[in-house]
Structure formats: C-alpha cells, structure tokens
C-alpha cells in the first residue's frame, strides 16, 4: 500500500529565509506526487505536481520540488518565504485513477 511521510509536524522560519519541507513516499510503481497548501479554514490548493519527466518541478507562489527516486523523496523548497506562506502543507501520492494518499501535513509558521 502506498504511504507518505512528512517527518516535520511544525516548522518555523524567518521571513526571507529559505524553506525546505520534507516528504518521503512508499509506492510500488512510479507515483504521481503532489504538494498542496491549506490556509486556515480553507480547502487545499495545488502548489505543484510531478507525473514524469524533469525531476525538478516548478509550482505556483515561487515553490519548487525535486523528485528523487533513489531517496523516495519529493521535498518542497522556496528560496525566500513571505509571511503569507504561513499555512499547512500536504504532500500526497497517487497513481492512475487511484485515490490520493496524504501525509499528515507540516504546519509552517513565519516569524518577522
């Protein structure tokens, strides 16, 4: 069965600092990988996705993620965070028309 691990429950970074959120997955075949962001009281917004091809994926709001098959990882990065990036971030894995399996999320706090 597929699974996703987000080892960091909560991360705090200073505004303007770089960010990396970790995601590890377990899946038997080549997975489809996603990062979603959820602001308080809101639904999930898609940041980026990886299906195939270039392992470095660019998303919205200046985010990028890199798929590393050898490490079963799909870490999310941003070179300089803004206060508006404070939210909860979810990594998800799926394949074909199967359901998405989500990680438990990482809550990001930005300090001025």
Partner 1 sequence: KAGVTQTPRYLIKTRGQQVTLSCSPISGHRSVSWYQQTPGQGLQFLFEYFSETQRNKGNFPGRFSGRQFSNSRSEMNVSTLELGDSALYLCASSTGQTSGNTIYFGEGSWLTVV
Binding interface with partner 1 (CB under 8 A): 32, 34, 36, 41-46, 49, 51, 90, 94, 96-105
Q: What single DSSP character describes residue 100?
A: P
Cβ proximity to partner 1, 77 vs 107, nearer residue: 107
Backbone angles phi, psi at 2, to 5 degrees: -75, 150
- What's the closest the beta carbon of residue 83 comes to partner 1, in angstroms? 22
Cβ proximity to partner 1, 18 vs 104, nearer residue: 104
Backbone angles phi, psi at 78, to 5 degrees: -150, 130
Backbone CA torsion sign across 45, 82, 20, 49: positive
- What's the closest the beta carbon of residue 47 comes to partner 1, in angstroms? 12
Mode of pairing for the β-strands spanning 73-78 and 64-68: antiparallel
- What's the closest the beta carbon of residue 58 comes to partner 1, in angstroms? 15
């Amino acid at each position: 069965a597929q699974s996703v691990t987000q080892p960091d429950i909560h991360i705090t970074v200073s505004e303007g600092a770089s960010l990396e959120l970790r995601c590890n997955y377990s899946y038997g075949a080549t997975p489809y990988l996603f990062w979603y962001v959820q602001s308080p009281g809101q639904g999930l917004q898609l940041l980026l996705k990886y299906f195939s091809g270039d392992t470095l994926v660019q998303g919205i709001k200046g985010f990028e993620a890199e798929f590393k098959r050898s490490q079963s990882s799909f870490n999310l990065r941003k070179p300089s965070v803004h206060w508006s990036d404070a939210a909860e971030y979810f990594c998800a894995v799926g394949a074909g028309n199967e359901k998405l399996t989500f990680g438990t999320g990482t809550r990001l706090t930005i300090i001025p």
